[in-house]
Structure 1
């Protein structure tokens, strides 16, 4: 079954109006975007920290896809092309960092957001170039905040829940279709037909390109989708349905096999 196209496609949200420099080494921006909005693939010569104050997003690069709920932030190194899909209505926040300040990380990193990190990021002015900052002291505050925020980023707990993506265009189309709609219960044979390949060819591509079989990759993708939903307090039955499982018991069995714990162990109360 082909992927459902996003409801809205937008450009790269004007990163050039927030370029960090020696005077303003941190630049922050915010955008309120609706579910099913797709921010097109783009790149810039400085690293960024992306998070949302509400709503879940998915950021994709050439190598993988990352689910980012409000409790986490995603570090994206400089010169890494990336796109963003809004899984829910979200208040998307991005902090651009001057390269001389940035940690020497060569790949994307999912980070737990500490209360201090969140407060520092939200304290940054979000006015674009060409307009006076809402806070006249914004450049001074950014220079003061920068070393402490970078220290918090480097201290943050890193979480490995990324979903690898293949280089092969046909297989990537299949993977993206599942990531866009994890509840779709189409078989591998049906998905292979949709991309014009045989089931045997697709199975071989999974092994060659991703080092795992279809079921292993699908489980990883479902886990990345389900964990943020559980963390927000969604009922296990609803998460199971949203993840493409016909019964709660089948979902719980998969989840416990993957993590050694039941889904309820990952549930938290919704924030007030």
Structure 2
């Protein structure tokens, strides 16, 4: 059963016309416990579906087998293509938006993979082929009330925890502000990153001056607009790469003069070449 919390995922404009907002699937049906510390569920999402903000009493790992979803908390948003997963610690309010038609897979963990404090925060992880297949299999073997725990289920669960613990963490995710004006601007950039070329134009859209917006970026997010926008562009690049868009076209779409210039930016920002970052190796 989904519980209400004082922490929410704010929305600047309310529900978006043409999109369908739905509650999460009954989480009590998939609650992990001592005998089943790892549970999995699957959900198909149309490109116009939003899962309402909610939270769980256990940790959650979200990734998509196909398509791209967006996971949002009160202070950050993450695009999740098939090669990535987002860790959501227990008690953190989050909402899920389908960027396009996708097949969502979710893991519920009774306890984090380790006692390391990094599991108390959102994390973006690389999804290895083994982890992907293990989760797919666990979700496929749906457990019904009263079913006994099988050896297969235990083995898969242990392997999943081991793979998650080994997964490489990535410093990804786009920070979101609490200020309503800046929040509207940030969400507009995420929706259409190339709509405006300058901060002046974006600021005018929310009825503020570029100077005011620059100050809010520093105060709210601790970065400049240019630094924040670079993370937004990486998120958009992930979405395009998930559609198998060639790297040269991604670079052009995001306004880079050449594929090499775009590649240099990606390598400098995330510490790995685009082929690996976008899962196109």
Indicate the residue corresponding to 2:261 in structure 1. 253
Query: What is the number of equivalent residue pairs in this alignment?
Result: 262
The match for 1:216 among 222, 227, 230 is 227
Could you list the per-position Cα deviations for residues 84-116 of structure 1 after superposition, in whole angstroms to 9, with x for gaps in the alignment? 1211210001011113x5433111111111222
Indicate the residue corresponding to 2:6 in structure 1. none
Q: TM-score, normalising length from structure 1?
A: 0.82
Indicate the residue corresponding to 2:202 in structure 1. 191
> Structure 1 residues 16-25 or 41-50, which shifts more?
16-25
Indicate the residue corresponding to 2:161 in structure 1. 150
In the superposition, relative to structure 1, how do residues 267 and 47 fare at CA in structure 2: closer, same or farther (>3 Å)?
A: closer
Structure-2 separation of matches of 1:28 and 1:216: 36
Indicate the residue corresponding to 1:234 in structure 2. 245
Structure-1 separation of matches of 2:246 and 2:200: 31
SS in 2 for 1:29: strand
Q: TM-score, normalising length from structure 2?
A: 0.80
Structure-1 separation of matches of 2:280 and 2:262: 23
Compute the displacement of 1:14 (Å). 2.4
Compute the displacement of 1:254 (Å). 5.1
Q: Does 1:70 align with 2:82?
A: yes
Compute the displacement of 1:251 (Å). 7.3
Q: Does 1:81 align with 2:93?
A: yes
Instruction: Report matched runs for 1:31-180 at 5 Å.
Output: 31-99=43-111, 102-104=113-115, 105-125=119-139, 131=144, 140-180=151-191
How well do the aligned residues superpose, as a CA RMSD in angstroms?
3.1
List runs of 5+ in structure 1 lacking aligned partners: none
The match for 2:213 among 167, 177, 202 is 202
In the superposition, relative to structure 1, how do residues 52 and 95 fare at CA in structure 2: closer, same or farther (>3 Å)?
A: same
Could you list the per-position Cα deviations for residues 134-157 of structure 1 after superposition, in whole angstroms to 9, with x for gaps in the alignment? xx5655533333332212111111
Indicate the residue corresponding to 1:29 in structure 2. 41
SS in 1 for 2:79: strand
List runs of 5+ in structure 2 lacking aligned partners: 1-11
